[in-house]
């Protein structure tokens, strides 16, 4: 049997380890032959691949990235895309099955091809940790570690200058990265999209932390507005903060994204809330920052 491997979407630690494990195990136990499609689905659509013998994958377990490349190509786009053309390509090159290593978009494409009758399976890879039927997707732990380390380095700046610090992290439609890295870094509040709150509550939280003599430390997930807001909130702090006199401003923005039902939501065991905010900068302009839920120390 000849199996084709591909990696699609963003790169992360673990991709090469999956390639290595599949090849070594498949060759040793079953005598299978492996090829790697270059640059994800693009290689599948164009029939562009490389041989993956055991000698090619040795030593990959500790190497980041992916030796076969990646891209965000849609396997249904272009004149060579779609299940009919991909099936012809597989028959031409004697490829019996495809293993797609990727996240939400990659696995959605793999499912469509499988539903069309092609022998395609998926390996869940995403830093967002948003795929159901998984405890943790590989890439997630690294994302949390890097985000936590970065915020540990700049926390002293907020405390030294008595500033309200807002940190924005990735996460697509869910709040797993913000949730875990926020707890690890000791945030006063963690804002994620799974549960909604009013901006009056958000402003009250900032005031409570400031009144205790602390610099508010917010952790939020980059993404969409939970709902359209129709007015602005501003909190005035009676001391210089390095920015405008009005420290927090929240403005109106329409809903853009909604969590899809196939996603795995972040589900902590304690109360969380969410809202939308704008953070100040030294120029006096209000820059958008999406804020989503709260961890109460």
**For the chain, which residues make up each domain, given as ranges?**
2-124, 143-252
Mean of pLDDT values over 25-52: 97
257 touches 274 (CB < 8 A): no
Mean of pLDDT values over 111-128: 94
Alpha-carbon distance 203 to 197, whole Å?
11
- Mapping DSSP to helix (H, G, I), strand (E, B) and coil, where does residue 261 land? coil
pLDDT in tens, 161-172: 877 777 888 888
- The share of the chain scoring above pLDDT 70, in percent, equals 72
* For residue 26, pLDDT beyond 70: yes
pTM of the full structure: 0.69
pLDDT in tens, 257-266: 233 334 455 5
* For residue 70, pLDDT beyond 90: yes
* For residue 134, pLDDT beyond 80: yes
Mean of pLDDT values over 244-256: 31
* For residue 249, pLDDT beyond 70: no
Looking at residue 265, its pLDDT comes to 57
Looking at residue 172, its pLDDT comes to 80
Alpha-carbon distance 171 to 26, whole Å?
33
Highest mean pLDDT among 5-9, 103-107, 152-156: 5-9
Task: For residue 178, give the nearest of 138, 59, 200, 170 by alpha carbon.
Answer: 170
Matching fold, domains 2-124 and 143-252: yes
pLDDT band at 5 (very low <50, low <70, confident <90, very high): very high
Looking at residue 231, its pLDDT comes to 39
Beta bridge partners of residue 169, listed in sequence order: 221
Query: Which residue intervals of 77-225 are DSSP H helices?
Result: 83-93, 104-115, 140-161, 176-185, 199-211
Which amino acids are annotated catalytic? 128
User: Roughly how many angstroms between the first and final C-alpha of the chain, as a whole number?
Assistant: 56
Mean of pLDDT values over 284-290: 32
Decide yes or no: CATH 3.40.50.450 for domain 2-124.
yes
Alpha-carbon distance 156 to 244, whole Å?
20
Q: What is the mean pLDDT of the chain?
A: 75
CATH topology of domain 143-252: Rossmann fold (3.40.50)
* For residue 289, pLDDT beyond 50: no
* For residue 43, pLDDT beyond 50: yes
């Amino acid at each position: 049997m000849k199996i084709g491997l591909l990696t699609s979407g963003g790169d992360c630690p673990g991709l090469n380890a999956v390639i290595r494990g599949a090849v070594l195990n498949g060759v040793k136990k079953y005598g299978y032959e492996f090829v790697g499609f270059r640059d994800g689905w693009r290689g599948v659509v164009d029939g562009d691949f490389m041989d993956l013998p055991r000698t090619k994958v040795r030593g990959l377990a500790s190497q980041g990235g992916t030796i076969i490349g990646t891209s965000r190509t849609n396997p249904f786009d272009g004149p060579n895309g779609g299940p009919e053309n991909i099936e012809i390509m597989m028959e031409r090159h004697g490829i019996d099955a495809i293993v797609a290593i990727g996240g939400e978009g990659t696995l959605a494409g793999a499912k469509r091809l499988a539903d069309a009758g092609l022998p395609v399976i998926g390996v869940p890879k995403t830093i967002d940790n948003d795929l159901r039927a998984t405890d943790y997707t590989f890439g997630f732990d690294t994302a949390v570690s890097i985000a936590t380390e970065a915020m540990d380095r700049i926390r002293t700046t907020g405390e030294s200058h008595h500033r309200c610090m807002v940190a924005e992290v990735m996460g697509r439609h869910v709040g797993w990265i913000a949730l875990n890295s926020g707890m690890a870094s000791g945030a006063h509040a963690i804002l994620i999209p799974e549960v909604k709150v009013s901006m009056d509550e958000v402003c009250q939280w900032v005031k409570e932390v400031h009144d205790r003599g602390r610099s508010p430390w917010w952790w939020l997930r980059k993404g969409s507005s939970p709902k359209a807001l129709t007015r602005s909130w501003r909190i005035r702090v009676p001391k210089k903060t390095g920015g405008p006199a009005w420290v927090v401003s929240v403005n109106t923005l329409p809903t853009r994204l909604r969590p899809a039902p196939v996603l795995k939501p972040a589900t902590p065991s304690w109360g969380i809330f969410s809202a939308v905010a704008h953070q100040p900068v030294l120029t006096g302009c209000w820059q958008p920052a999406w804020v989503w839920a709260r961890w109460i120390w």
